[in-house]
Amino acid sequence: RRVLFLSNAQFVSELNLQNDTISRFKARQEIAKKLVSIEKNEPEKIEKLETLCKEYEVLLKILNLRNWVLEPKKDNTFFIIIEALKLIVTTPFFLLGFLLNFLPFYAPVYIRKKIIRPQYRGFYGSLHFVLGIITFPLFYVLQTSLIISLINTPWWVALLFLIIQYPLGLWAIKGYKKEKKFMAMLRLKTLIQKKSFDLNLAQSARKQIIRMIS
């Protein structure tokens, strides 16, 4: 299972596919076929792969990096600069979206953990979804009512405020993901400049894993 995700990008490239969700799924299928073949014909190789993958995962935790960060790519200095500028410009919208959606987003989590406390973990997703259907509109209406009570605003401004709360929440989620990606790329850049020994080990382990199933 580990190998399916560790070497995805390499197989997407080898299969001459676009690096998207469907292509990565096709790449995982190809990797799975190779692993079945290796397990059948070279069972000792599977044990070595498992050991390498475990070592690689430990190194990633030490470095606080994800596998995708080490996927082959061109120099990312320009990308980091552009992303930094984007984050600076969009920070006010991110903060507003976060503040307006903090309570409706975490209310279902609090209700599930502290009030309902279901025993079956498989029920968590469905329960969270149902609670979200209730809490998001409820908090949006309450927050809009609070704004109206504090500030004398025209009806159309209140309606606009009610409507934009959800899109701003989506913006905040996307902004949070982009911020994590930016920080990961920046961390990788720093590790490369410091010539991190653990990073070299991780890159070496990753190359060995890919080479063994290529």
Confidence band, pLDDT 50/70/90 cuts, at residue 42? confident
Above 90 in pLDDT, residue 160?
yes
Average pLDDT on 193-201 reads: 92
Burial class (CB in 10 A: 0-12, 13-18, 19+), 13: middle
Q: Helix or strand or coil: residue 18? A: coil
Helix, strand, coil % (nearest 5) of the chain? Answer: 85, 0, 15
Stretch among 4-8, 78-82, 174-178, 204-208 having the lowest mean pLDDT: 4-8
Above 60 in pLDDT, residue 200?
yes
Question: pTM of the full predicted structure?
Answer: 0.66
Above 80 in pLDDT, residue 185?
yes
Residue type, 91: T
Angstrom CA distances, 2 to 15, 22, 168, stand at: 20, 19, 35
